[in-house]
Chains A and B, each alone.
Chain A
Amino acid sequence: MMRALGLAGLLALAGASLTAQGVMVAPHAVFIDHSRGSGSVLLYNPGTEPVEVSISTIFGYPTTDSSGNIKLNTIENPDSTVPSALAWIQAFPRRLTVAPKERQTVRLLARPPIGLADGEYWLRLVIAAQAGTVPITGVSDTTAIQVGLKLEVRTIIGVNYRKGAVMTGVALSNLRAQVVGDSVITRARLERRGNAAFIGMIRETIVDSTGAVRAQRIGDSLITAYQSPIGVYFTMEPRLASAIPAPGLPRGRYWLRYEVVAEREDLDPKVVLKAPAVRDSVQLVVP
């Protein structure tokens, strides 16, 4: 046994390396118009090794848990009460290998049922990529214990299919804000209007008693308004946390301006449905 242990010691896995692997998925949200009937997703392998990819579909939509964290609410067998496209949108191919520095396209083909009502229908695309196998290195010794863990990544993105007249909007209520440590925590109730998901941004601005905008912080950068992308599919109460730059806000009362707008810089403006912005403000007390 001692000999085995000694040899096992020679089998250090520390030298094993893993080249970063995975695939870039673009776009991160797919919008298919009924008149075209199909869409596509581009996969790009920025690494140096081939990446095996498998594609599947599920039904789900983002919502929030009791703490305001965004989660995906998945339904295995969606019925007619939810606008699911799971039964009639298929992805091709289902399995593929993306060579290094190469790109491949996954096609999404829609075969909607006859008489499908106007509106927006959803599904989620699951892109699973084998992110490389841990190379087991060392002396070839059949008495050694070696441990290797494969890393796999799954990226889930939304697919929204639009037929006919689609409209969206959002109602804002129950806005609250508080300072916790060096962060401003907000929550608000967002309720979708219309027959399509509201895709937009939440913007938060802190204003002091003189009306001056106070800076917030993202990483090392100071910003005048914190903004976070949001997709409201039904109803949600997202919790947002933005950082206050050191040394923090002086004690006192401030106003937090909260704005939900149908704007997204990360999406083609053509796919972002227009909707009126909604705004509210709430007092923010720094003790």
Chain B
Amino acid sequence: MGTMLLGVPLVAQGKPVTVTGIRSVTFGAVLPGVPRVVLRTDPANSGQFDIKGPKGNVLLSFVLPLTMTGPAGAQMPLTFGASDAGYSQTQSIGSQVGFDPKQPFTAAMPNNGRASVFVGGTANPATNQRAGAYTATIILNVTVLP
């Protein structure tokens, strides 16, 4: 009986949270010395994560790269502004609450347990930036707050 009483809420609280990387942040063609900005509202180039989890609060925190790595280990600085991340309870890029991706952000999951996080940023190629393809990894941690 005790197990039954404990088990019901535990199962509900134990609903797994899943995070899925949907779309990369795409800076596209970048010119040396010319910063390239991707807005979190850019439907084609902003990054997107989808979250599935229990209704309630979740803590969002990013692991952000400082640089992108290119040919022969060449580095290109990458910066993120105070409003370069956005949270959407409706999973709509047009309906976001902006937040600073460098700081943890508490968000409320909607009743349907589905939400999205969008992210933009700025690539800052040096004037002598070596030509070629550059990549970096952006990680989003989602923690269900008990």
Contact = CB atoms under 8 A, between A and B. Distances in A.
Interface of A: 24, 26-27, 40, 42, 44, 46, 103, 264-270
Contacts of B145: none
B71 interface: yes
A138 to B, nearest CB: 36
A26 B31 contact: yes
Contacts of A103: 31
A266 B130 CA distance: 6
A127 B31 CA distance: 17
Given A268-B71, A269-B71, A44 B31 contact: yes
Interface size class, chain B: under 10
A266 B131 contact: yes
A103 to B, nearest CB: 8
Interface of B: 29, 31, 34, 71, 130-133
Contacts of A267: 131-132
Contacts of A266: 130-131
Given A24-B31, A26-B31, A265 B133 contact: no
Given A44-B34, A269-B71, A26 B133 contact: no
A93 B84 CA distance: 33
Contacts of A264: 131
A88 B37 CA distance: 35
Contact of A27 (B34, B71, B131): B131
A26 B29 contact: yes
Nearest to A269: B71
Contacts of B31: 24, 26, 42, 44, 103
Nearest to B28: A42
A268 B34 contact: no
Given A27-B131, A269-B132, 16 more contacts: A24-B34, A26-B29, A26-B31, A40-B29, A44-B31, A46-B34, A103-B31, A264-B131, A265-B130, A266-B131, A267-B131, A267-B132, A268-B132, A268-B133, A269-B71, A270-B133
